Amino acid sequence: MVKPLTFKGDKKAKKRKRTTTDQNDDDVPERQKKQFKASATSSDITTTAAAASNEEIEGEEHDDSWVSADTPSDVSGPIMFVLPTEPPTALACDVTGKVFTLPIENIVDGNPATAEPHDVRQVWVANKIVGTENHRFKGHHGKYLSCDKIGLFTASSDAITSLESFTIIPTFDTPGTFQIQTLRETFLTVCASNSSKANAAPEVRGDATEISFDSTLRIRMQARFKPRIKASKEEKAREKISRRELEEAVGRRLEEDEVKKLKRARREGDYHEVMLDMKVKGKHDKYG
């Protein structure tokens, strides 16, 4: 037998050893092979659908869109204080701890309810102080917002004291807006700059003793931290169950209205009771 020419450096082709499985495969009738292939394809589709569902849920968990806080209990995670200035500005700080107002660029038609940060200096991380109804606000550089006894704001503290503790109060006659109160019962407020420069940015102080338009602000936050949105997403996750999974749980094939009924029960919290009723019904139908 004539062999093909080979050259130095050529890779030798490895011969595939015939296994017992391969031999057995030849003995399997063509019809059974087709059935196995169809079964594998169905399994692949189910796996792919499950993976897509998981990706959708994970995507929702990493939702970085911005929404407005409606109540003080909503305020958590990355937030932005939208101040009552014209044009709208945000409370900001730099790495030295200086606190100032910074114009908002990501906003639609000047509407504070659409504002989003364009600069990390406008972002604060809000957390409730354990055992209290007060909040603390950490800047992008890891230091806490603080208001001293004369009403001067800074962001250079590493620890939480009464100066770094604030109460978020909903504005009585303007839903969706808040007052930021210190523990000395004074309020964060905006005021005209004392600078002699033209078009100087407004300033913020913490010594206002009364609620006013200048102390009324909005709080924007990331959607994934808002409790009601989180609850809605968890509810959606509970709804994501396939017909196959439901049929396996009940132990028989289900009609379309039964599938809808079980999915509705998962949302409403009586899934196990409804499933048990369907199991009992299936037994009655079988032996009745």
Query: Which two tokens mark 30?
Result: 């063509």
Tens digits of per-residue pLDDT, 10-43? 555 665 655 555 555 555 555 554 554 444 444 4
**Residues 84, 190: contact at Cβ < 8 Å?**
yes
Q: What is the pLDDT of residue 275?
A: 80
Q: In the predicted model, what is the mean pLDDT of residues 182-210? A: 89
Q: In the predicted model, what is the mean pLDDT of residues 157-163? A: 96
Better-predicted residue by pLDDT, 99 or 36: 99
**Averaged pLDDT score across all residues of the chain:** 80
SS (H, E, C) the chain: CCCCCCCCCCCCCCCCCCCHHHHHHHHCCHHHHHHHHHHHHHHHHHHHHHHHHHHHHHHHHCCCCEEECCCHHHCCEEEEEEECCCCCEEEEECCCCEEEEEECCECCCCCHHHCECCCHHHCEEEEECCCCCCEEEECCCCCEEEECCCCCEEEEECCCCHHHCEEEEECCCCCCCEEEEECCCCEEEEECCCCCCCCCCCEEEEEECCCCHHHCEEEEEEHHHCHHHHHHHHHHHHHCCCHHHHHHHHCCCCCHHHHHHHHHHHHHCCHHHHHHHHHHHHHHHHHC
CB-count burial class (<10 Å; 0-12, 13-18, 19+) for 86: exposed
Does pLDDT of 45 surpass 60?
no
Q: What is the pLDDT of residue 234?
A: 55
**Residues 220, 115: contact at Cβ < 8 Å?**
yes
d(CA 150, CA 144): 18
Does pLDDT of 208 surpass 70?
yes
d(CA 94, CA 141): 8
d(CA 208, CA 261): 57
Q: What is the pLDDT of residue 12?
A: 57
Q: Packing angle between helix 227-239 and helix 256-268, nearest 10 degrees?
A: 150
Lowest mean pLDDT among 16-20, 78-82, 126-130, 149-153: 16-20
Q: What is the pLDDT of residue 262?
A: 82
Confidence of residue 5 (pLDDT cuts 50, 70, 90): very low
Better-predicted residue by pLDDT, 80 or 246: 80
d(CA 132, CA 135): 8
Does pLDDT of 199 surpass 90?
no
Closest Cα partner for 221 from 131, 135, 132, 101?
135
Does pLDDT of 182 surpass 90?
yes
Q: Distance between the two ends of the chain, CA-based, in angstroms?
A: 75
